[in-house]
Amino acid sequence: MSLRFKMNLALIITLFIGTTLIGVIIFSSFKSQAENNVLSRAELMLDNASAVRLYMSEHVTPLLARQSKRAYLPQSVPAHAVRRSTAQLEKKFPFLRYNEASINPTNPENKATAWEQEIIRGFIDSPDKAKQTGVTPTGTHLYLSRPVKVNSESCQGCHGDPAAMPLTLRAHYKNSEAFGWKNGQVVAAQFVKIPLSVPLQMAQQSFKPVLGKIILIAVGIAILAALLLNLIVVQRVQRISKTANAISLGSTKFGDFNASGSDEIATLERSFNRMRRSLSNAIDLLEEKTGNYTRM
């Protein structure tokens, strides 16, 4: 294996490891960027849901109070308006899935699962905690969760004293456990779930063109480094090796190396020049003594 081959091999291995590491770092930063990107959209969805609920509860539900006494009107329920408006957003961003979960829900369908309950308890225990993000226990989805707090007196109309809830609504939600709420109390949590494959795909899309450029730069560096190493090391070592080989076989046609510079190869060339001269003197002496002239 020639020196040039070994050096080029070492160069290729180093560049391959370097490029892979740079690729991994860049990709993981693209991935976390993509995750932040989808999470900020998810956050907007939560803001929208909270705003719709408050507006409904304070301004629309009271207007429908009289009609609600006669018949059950889903339009008067803030949670319905929340569901409808988030459904629109889900249409626009199909990777976002919204749900509200409670430990003691009005609608049993909103009963929090075991891990959702844990998160809600976390919000109840630390009232200052504004949000939580993570990966669902299935390992397939990213989630963003925020506490739902009783933020208006109007909530008590249905979630305070059970007697205050319109009879038509109470008949519809017979199994409701969502009563006795106090102002400021954490009563549920909002969740947005996003398949992990979404930020991954987004990261892959942004990474592809960058990967092309990284490979191009790595190949450019490899060629330049190979040329420079060839010039600075390989060619000079090859010259020394060729000369040393020829001299060892008795040739005298080689002069001194042009040993300019201060690097190790120049030092080697100078030492070699000295060695070659002493060898030549020694042979001259020997020839003079013996009268036997052997060199070419």
Chain positions contacting ligand HEC, by CB under 6 A: 53-54, 57, 61, 76-79, 100, 102, 105-107, 110, 148, 150-152, 154-155, 157-159, 169, 173, 178, 187-188
Select 105 or 199, whichever has its Cβ closest to ligand HEC.
105
Question: Checking DSSP bridges between strand 141-149 and strand 186-195, what pairing results, if any?
Answer: antiparallel
Full strand arrangement of the beta sheet holding 97-101: 97-101, 186-195, 141-149, 132-135
- Give whichever of 187 and 196 is closer to ligand HEC, judged by the CB atom: 187
* DSSP letter, residue 156: H
Instruction: Please state the closest distance from residue 155 (CB atom) to ligand HEC, in A.
Output: 3
- Closest contact distance (angstroms) between CB of 184 and ligand HEC is 11
Pairwise CA distance, residues 84 & 229, whole Å: 68
Cβ distance to ligand HEC smaller for residue 77 or 198: 77
**Least distance in Å: CB of 86 to ligand HEC?**
12
Measured distance CA(144)–CA(35) in Å, rounded: 11
| The two structure tokens encoding residue 121 | 């308890």
Nearer CB in complex with ligand HEC: 34/112:
112
Smallest gap from Cβ 92 to ligand HEC, in A, equals 22
- Report, in Å, the least distance between residue 201 CB and ligand HEC: 32
Residues 6 or more apart whose CB falls under 8 angstroms from that of 171 comprise 72
Residue 117 vs 273, nearer CB to ligand HEC: 117
CB of 100 closer than 8 Å to CB of 79: yes
